[in-house]
């Protein structure tokens, strides 16, 4: 598969009253066409900020990409003209969020909100856009789609609203769908249905997925590749089977130990010691230093580089040696 999206040494900073916050620090990884790449880590690890950097949704004027680049099919997005960038992000890139009620307009019927995608981006007539909106609702398996199109967001269940968000995101047949914690606000049964729907639509449309999550069960079900982030940096990345079978970084190992399995059923789940420190306390050394049970003196003095320890598996940890891993 060829690379669809490439993050190259991405640095994103938020400028606050108390000083700059380096939310993303040198992130490098790629997403292949038609594949699913899961970006995992605790809250504050930089997962969502990486996605927002790609989509141009950083809050202005506080958020800024200070260094690095993001490529789409080998072309720099950051170097594109404003109109070209706008068309790329409206046609080829799409994003859904974990709480659809914050993304859907509560004062507009859902059919109209999907129609707007076809009218503004695809240039369809009002009649054709209305027809396509109903077809998209049927595609995401919303029953009685024609009547549901006349409903307001608050009249739908949480699972139905998330399906509407997926329909809106896929209306322009994007090459990449960014799913930011898409099932967090849903109960387990609806989670399964939404994930299966995303997998089905991916097979049908060939859309690549950037799945942002902390749920390793979802990762095991959906992902082809996994990027583990902490403190705004990539700690480890590999294919999904390798991450689960042979994790390297102490943080990755801790995340896997903390997930419920059949083997630890009935036992108290493992907790990674401590809490995620503020970004200012993770600079100048390994960001995981204060919580790592394998830390060494060098870990508190230097930031480990992302290196390839095994073919296709990169890790940022002084416990391992290897060649510098560009991607």
Note the pLDDT tens digit of each residue in 130-158.
Answer: 999 999 999 888 999 999 999 999 999 88
* Average pLDDT across the chain, whole number: 91
- 165 and 198, same domain (yes or no): no
Residue 264 has pLDDT above 80, yes or no: no
Lowest mean pLDDT among 54-63, 66-75, 267-276: 267-276
- What pLDDT is recorded for position 280? 84
Q: How confident is the model at residue 324 (pLDDT cuts 50, 70, 90)?
A: low
Mark which of 171, 198, 233 sits at the end of a domain: 171
- What pLDDT is recorded for position 148? 94
Q: How confident is the model at residue 101 (pLDDT cuts 50, 70, 90)?
A: confident
Mark which of 115, 148, 171 sits at the end of a domain: 171
Domain enclosing residue 113, as ranges:
101-171
Percent of the chain with pLDDT over 90: 65
pLDDT tens for residues 105-132?
A: 999 999 999 999 899 888 899 999 999 9
- 187 and 57, same domain (yes or no): yes
- What pLDDT is recorded for position 327? 54
Residue 326 has pLDDT above 70, yes or no: no
Query: pTM for this structure?
Result: 0.91
- 3-class secondary structure per residue, the chain: CCEEEEEEEEEEEEEECCEEEEEEEEEEEEEECCCEEEEECCCCCCHHHHHHHHHCCCCCCCEEEEEEEEEECCEECCCCCHHHHHHHHHHCEEEECCCHHHCCCCCCCHHHHHHHHHHHCCCCCHHHHHHHHHHHHHHCCCCCHHHHCCCCHHHCCHHHHHHHHHHHHHCCCCCEEEEECCCCCCCHHHHHHHHHHHHHHHHHHCCEEEEEECCHHHHHHHCCEEEEEECCEEEEEEEHHHHHHCCCCHHHHHHHHCCCCCCCCCCCCCCCCCCCCCHHHHCCCCCCHHHCCCCCHHHHCCCCCCEEEECCEEECCCCCCCEECCC
Residue 192 has pLDDT above 70, yes or no: yes
- 161 and 54, same domain (yes or no): no
* Residue scoring higher pLDDT (191 or 211): 211
Mark which of 123, 152, 171 sits at the end of a domain: 171
**Structural domain count, the chain:** 2
pLDDT tens for residues 61-90?
A: 899 999 999 999 999 999 999 999 999 998
Percent of the chain with pLDDT over 70: 97
- What pLDDT is recorded for position 92? 94
- 146 and 230, same domain (yes or no): no
């Amino acid at each position: 598969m060829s690379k669809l999206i490439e993050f190259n040494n991405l640095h994103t900073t938020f400028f606050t009253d108390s000083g700059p916050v380096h939310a993303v620090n040198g992130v490098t990884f790629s997403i292949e066409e038609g594949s699913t790449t899961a970006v995992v880590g605790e809250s504050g690890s930089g997962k969502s900020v990486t996605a927002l950097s790609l989509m141009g949704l950083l809050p202005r004027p506080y958020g800024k990409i200070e260094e690095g680049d993001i490529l789409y099919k080998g072309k720099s997005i950051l170097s594109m003209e404003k109109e070209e960038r706008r068309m790329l992000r409206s046609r080829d890139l799409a994003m859904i969020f974990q709480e659809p009620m914050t993304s859907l307009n509560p004062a507009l019927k859902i059919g109209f909100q999907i129609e707007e995608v076809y009218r503004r981006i695809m240039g369809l007539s009002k009649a054709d856009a209305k027809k396509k909106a109903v077809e998209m609702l049927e595609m995401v398996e919303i029953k009685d789609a024609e009547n549901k199109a006349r409903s307001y967001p608050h009249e739908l269940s949480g699972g139905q609203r998330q399906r509407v968000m997926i329909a809106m995101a896929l209306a322009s047949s994007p090459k990449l769908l960014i799913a930011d914690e898409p099932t967090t606000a849903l109960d387990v049964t609806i989670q399964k249905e939404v994930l299966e729907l995303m997998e089905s639509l991916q097979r049908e449309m060939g859309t690549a997925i950037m799945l942002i999550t902390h749920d390793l069960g979802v990762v095991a079900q959906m992902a082809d590749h996994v990027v583990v982030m902490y403190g705004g940096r990539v700690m480890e990345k590999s294919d999904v089977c390798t991450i689960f079978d042979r994790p390297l970084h102490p943080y990755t190992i801790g995340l896997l130990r903390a997930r419920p399995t059949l083997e630890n059923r009935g036992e108290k789940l493992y907790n990674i010691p401590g809490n995620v420190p503020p970004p200012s306390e993770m600079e100048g050394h390994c960001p995981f230093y204060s919580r790592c049970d394998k830390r060494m003196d060098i870990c508190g003095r230097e930031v480990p580089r992302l290196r390839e320890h095994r073919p296709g598996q990169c890790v940022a940890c002084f416990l391992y040696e290897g060649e510098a891993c560009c991607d």
